[in-house]
Structure 1
Amino acid sequence: MTLTHEEWLKERQKGIGGSDAAAIIGLSPWATPYTVWADKTGRIPPKEDNEAMRQGRDLEQYVADRWMEATEKKCRRRTKILRNPDYPFAHANVDRWVVGENAGLECKTTSVMNLKKFKNGEYPETYYCQCVHYMAVTGARRWYLAVLILNQGFYTFVIKRDEEEIAALMEAERHFWQFVEKDTSPAVDGLKPTTEVLNTMYCLSQDNQAPMDLFGQESTIQAYLDTKSAIKALEQQKEQYEQMLKESLGENELGAAGAYLVKWKPQQRSTFQAKAFAKDHPEIDLSGYYKKSQFRKFEIKEES
């Protein structure tokens, strides 16, 4: 039975999928253990579909066709969500299964901005983690990876089964899933995706104006303030070094020192002055062109 997109989203909350693997072990730039936990426990809404995700789905068959052309192998769809009793916390929704082999195929579509990641036979760690996860769940001996870089190139890779890496990844996923089962969050990590999820989870304060007792958090508050002061001092120091180099360059746009090339080139930037336009054209209603957002401002004040 083929699942609808909504049904698939609900099913993926019941376990760890291939796209979660890299985040759980700290190798994803877009997600963290905390954000995956928030997703699996239903604390945040499903990720909104975007153009990159749409193109990835629409071009999946094209990527599979190109892979078959390049390798002279055959593959077919596997629409069922796969599970393994050895890893009840994990599941796999694979792109294709290779005919005549104990192997699968992952089809990727990415931007030209990522082209350098595929030079010299390399590929992103997130892709590797996903393929290792799929080999663990399916028992496959290898996993093929096909990557279409829009308008630039097509790359194919073979990832062989490594029992030690599978064991390490599955142990990390097993440990993570305990947080989901116990409904206890993993530690926060200082990364931007975690901040964004916290802001989403606790966007509205529900008019809770009464101070909460943060007993035992004095050291955390002091560490925050000390770090903030250190960053400010370092920013000033960085600015000073920049000023020294600018003074040395003077009228020149380029400067060289050993292996370093310093650039200070003139640029122009145009910005729309919304307030000035509204003042000059009071008859035009611009309210529909302003994006409104809700947020909570974080600050610490020391009481005297």
Structure 2
Amino acid sequence: MLNEQQMAMRSRGIGGSDVAAILGISPWVTPLQLYMTKRGEIEPQATNKSMHWGNILETPILEEYSRVTGNKVEAVADTILHPEHNFMLANIDGRVNDDLIVEIKTASRSDGWGAEGTDEVPDYYLTQVHHYMTVTGAKQCDVAVLIGGNDFRMYHVYADAEMSQMLIDAETKFWKMVQDGVPPDIQTTEDWQLKYFHKLRDVSLEATEQIQEACTLLFNTNSQIKSLEERKKKLTTQVMQYMQDNKQLTIGGQKVGTIIQKSLTGWDFEALKADESVKAKYLNKTSNSAYFQLSTSKNLPTILGV
């Protein structure tokens, strides 16, 4: 968990958790969002529940790592700077010795995590620990993770000279953009809103051949989506008609779907239009809806034979 001093330092450089965003592989932050955060144009991402519990569980996971490995882990409170590129920062969770550092993670699911004992961790964490090894000069980083609250695993990532140089090059380029005020290209529609929403001009722009092709593909995609939505509606109706008043659907005794019911109470605007003198308490109207939802179980394709 970063303290206030470390958080302040992060705004003056690039930390390990920033690297995935710079490379465009972060599930949470785009390069533009990170750029604007570093320049103080938008607020840093707020702490969510996953981050909160990750901070709380960091100490017990680190203790379990020490118990399992027998390694005595030293806490490192200070921010470490790269000896040559002082904008590259590292706030490591622990250090066994100069060659071995430790990174603690929590995860709700095992997606992206390979066999224990390998270096098969999610890419956005892999780049983070390689950044830490690049900054500290460590030769190995042990990643200790608690998955789903009860699955403790350890992974071993080793320093790689080519990876380190790639990160140095990418981070140097990005940090120069931050200093020079040159924003990265947008990657999402949310990025467009951040960059252009308040700058929109009532001006026409002629499309290039590439953009014309994109518009054609967009038109075709929208048509396909409409067709697929209509097909989805018909198939859902077919299933619900078969189920009638039964809530769950099974195949071979295994659940494959459920009918979900929802009730929503709100204003009856039609009644208000008809008689504005009607008191508000008589304007509440309850709308009922129901839909069929396929199971999210990983076994569903096997059950369906697809």
TM-score range, shorter chain: 0.7 to 0.9
Question: What residue is the counterpart of 2:153 in the other structure?
Answer: 155
Question: What residue is the counterpart of 1:196 in the other structure?
Answer: 190
Say whether the 8 Å CA contact 2:131–2:167 is kept in structure 1: yes
Name the Cα RMSD after superposition: 3.6
Task: Decide whether aligned partners of structure 1 residues 160 and 283 sit closer, same or farther in structure 2, where only a CA change above 3 A counts.
Answer: same
State the alpha-carbon separation in 2 of the partners of residues 118 and 247 from structure 1: 38
State the alpha-carbon separation in 1 of the partners of residues 2 and 259 from structure 2: 52
Task: Decide whether aligned partners of structure 1 residues 251 and 139 sit closer, same or farther in structure 2, where only a CA change above 3 A counts.
Answer: same
Question: What residue is the counterpart of 2:262 in the other structure?
Answer: 270
Deviations 1:243-274 (A, max 9, x none): 78679978486799xxxxxx985512213222
Say whether the 8 Å CA contact 2:98–2:137 is kept in structure 1: no
Is 2:227 the partner of 1:232? no
Task: Decide whether aligned partners of structure 1 residues 41 and 63 sit closer, same or farther in structure 2, where only a CA change above 3 A counts.
Answer: same
State the alpha-carbon separation in 2 of the partners of residues 91 and 70 from structure 1: 29
Instruction: Using structure 1 for the length normalisation, give the TM-score.
Output: 0.74
Deviations 1:24-75 (A, max 9, x none): 1122111121221111111111221222222122221111101001111011
Task: Decide whether aligned partners of structure 1 residues 101 and 182 sit closer, same or farther in structure 2, where only a CA change above 3 A counts.
Answer: closer
Question: What residue is the counterpart of 1:118 in the other structure?
Answer: 113
Deviation, 1:155, is 0.8
SS at match of 2:9: helix
Question: What residue is the counterpart of 1:299 in the other structure?
Answer: none
Gaps of 5+ in 1: 257-262, 287-304
Corresponding letter in the other structure for 1:231: T
Gaps of 5+ in 2: 244-248, 273-277, 285-306
Say whether the 8 Å CA contact 2:2–2:91 is kept in structure 1: no
Instruction: Using structure 2 for the length normalisation, give the TM-score.
Output: 0.73
Question: What residue is the counterpart of 2:10 in the other structure?
Answer: 12
Question: What residue is the counterpart of 2:172 in the other structure?
Answer: 174
Question: What residue is the counterpart of 2:99 in the other structure?
Answer: 102
Higher share of residues assigned strand: 2
Is 2:57 the partner of 1:63? no
Say whether the 8 Å CA contact 2:6–2:78 is kept in structure 1: no
